[in-house]
Amino acid sequence: MGFEHWFNKNLNRVWGFIEQRAGISKWALRPQPAFTFKPSYWTGAFVANAFFIQVATGLLLLLYYEPSVAPTLTSCGQPLGTYSTAPAAWCSTYYLIHGVPMGSLLLSSHLYGAYAMLFLAFIHFYRGYYLGAYKKPREFSWMAGTLLLLLTLGMGFTGYILPYTEIAYNATNVGIVLALRLPTLGALTAPFLLANGTPQGLLSRMFALHVLVIPLALGALLYAHIALFESHGIAPPATSDPTQRNVYVKAEEKTQVPFWPQIFFYMTKWALLYLGLLFGIAALWPWQLPTYYGNFAAVASVTEPDWYFLWLFKVVDFYGVTPVIAVGITVVLMLYILALPFLDRSPRRHPRDRPIVVMIGNTLLGFFILLTVWGGLTPGVQILPMAVAERLAPIAIINVLVVALFYLRYRKSYQSRLIARGSAYRLSGAYPVVGGAPRATVSPPSRASEVKSAD
């Protein structure tokens, strides 16, 4: 009996024991069509993976972190024999970096992991946006996702101040001033955010929100998000065919790939790759701790948030933009994203059939990138209206022109192809509504020749 045979036999016995006692195979998620074995179909799973890793590294950090602004009166980076008045929150971070084996790797992984989670969440959001994943019946998945994005931003915001660096303390205060300007909601949330108005009160609130309240809310909402995903299955590729079904029925699952073990191991491969990259980057470029808040001996640092809030900070720098206007812009943006499934209700999901949504998406993305870079290069520098118009207007105008030209060109060629085929479709009129006109009277273009998959 060779080793391989012996090994497999025993592995099967162990697995059989676990399966019989725990029924693990029943925990498996829905089977999926074979074509979904592409990273672009699993952008949400990548975000979820990043979240789980954040929870793991965060719990380890919790063993060392001290959420206090009281001076430690230990040397804390000062020459031996002298005592520092640095706050305990900063000192415990300093100790983690310099005194704990692998501490710097742990902290940097958590910080860069947060950046990665936000970046992946943006990718997941934009994929759903461009491919119309929010359309019927996934409206609730989309809305839960929007709230998840807000909570993820909330994790970043509340975590920034925890090492109690000067730059983070000041930026958090700017953010809180903005939040307090929210009509009605601002006044209601003020006591909740500011606690008793002392720096310790603020730090304690941010700490509680970061390590308990927001992660719990995020976990619960993620559960709902995935449960919704399970009930509809993955969205089929976006095509221009308005009669295309948007869900797979249960009967089709027999021909699909089971979650266990195929999808599970496919995901594990990506999760391990992510972990390797994260640790590699954290080991090669460890995060440097800036000076603490209240260190009057240090040169004052510029107030600057992390990259994902730089765009908002730049908007506040615009001449004439008050905090109320900046908050108003953010609220309108969030409402647009939340309400998108009800604003764009046509059954067509392919981006080339939704020029207005694509135009808005491109413009917002362009603004986001420009404002982020601008905010990073000139934080806190006031910008005159002419300079704002000179930079933002070209992005909007070029987008409108390119999308409009592309759309007109596409409509023309698409229509002539349909006429050549004698199809009942006409782009000048509306597409037949799904489930509306009897299917026998319409002959949708063959998917292979006319309507290529978006992926």
**What are the angstrom distances between the C-alpha of 326 and each of 172, 174, 314?**
16, 12, 10
315, 371 in Cβ contact below 8 A? Answer: yes
Interface pick for ligand HEM out of 90, 169, 229, 266 (rule CB under 6 A): 229
Question: Which of 58, 67, 113, 128 lies at the binding interface for ligand HEM (CB under 6 A)?
Answer: 128
Min dist CB 45 to ligand HEM, Å, is 4
* Choice from 114, 174, 203, 235 touching ligand HEM (CB under 6 A): 235
- The yes or no reply on residue 91 touching ligand HEM (CB under 6 A) is no
How far apart, in whole angstroms, are the C-alpha atoms of residue 146 and residue 340? 10
46/414 with CB nearer ligand HEM: 46
| Burial of residue 50, with CB atoms counted within 10 A of its CB: 0-12 exposed, 13-18 middle, 19 or more buried | buried
Where does residue 68 fall: left (phi above 0), alpha (psi -120 to 50 degrees), or beta otherwise? beta
Q: Min. distance of Cβ 229 from ligand HEM in angstroms?
A: 4
Token look-up 């074995």 returns 37
Q: Which stretch binds ligand HEM (CB under 6 A): 2-10, 72-80, 219-227, 309-317?
A: 219-227
Judged by CB under 6 A, does residue 116 bind ligand HEM?
no
Stretch that binds ligand HEM, among 107-115, 226-234, 247-255, 308-316 (CB under 6 A): 226-234
170 closest CA partner among 185, 160, 155: 160
Q: Using CA of residue 389, residue 392, residue 395, residue 396, what is the dihedral sign?
A: negative
Question: Among 147-155, 293-301, 322-330, 358-366, which window interacts with ligand HEM (CB under 6 A)?
Answer: 147-155
Torsion of CA 205, 211, 217, 221, to 10 degrees: 150
Reply yes or no: is the peptide bond before residue 137 cis, omega within 30 of 0. yes
Q: Is 125 in the site for ligand HEM (CB under 6 A)?
A: yes
| Nearest C-alpha neighbor of 274 from the set 122, 53, 115, 125 | 53
* Residue nearer to ligand HEM on the CB measure, 110 or 225: 225
Q: Is 182 in the site for ligand HEM (CB under 6 A)?
A: no
| Structural tokens at position 427 | 């782009």
Minimum CB separation of residue 312 from ligand HEM in Å reads 17
Among 65, 90, 112, 134, binds ligand HEM (CB under 6 A): 134
Q: Rg of the chain over CA atoms, in angstroms?
A: 26
Q: Among residues 72, 141, 246, 399, which is the contact residue for ligand HEM, using CB under 6 A?
A: 141
Q: Using the rule CB under 6 A, is 148 a contact of ligand HEM?
A: yes
Where do runs of H (alpha helix) occur along 233-354? 264-284, 310-317, 323-343
- Find the shortest distance in angstroms from Cβ 145 to ligand HEM: 2
Which residues in this chain contact ligand HEM in the complex, by CB under 6 A? 42-45, 47-48, 51, 121, 124-125, 128, 133-134, 138, 141-142, 145-146, 148-149, 152, 222, 225-226, 229, 234-235
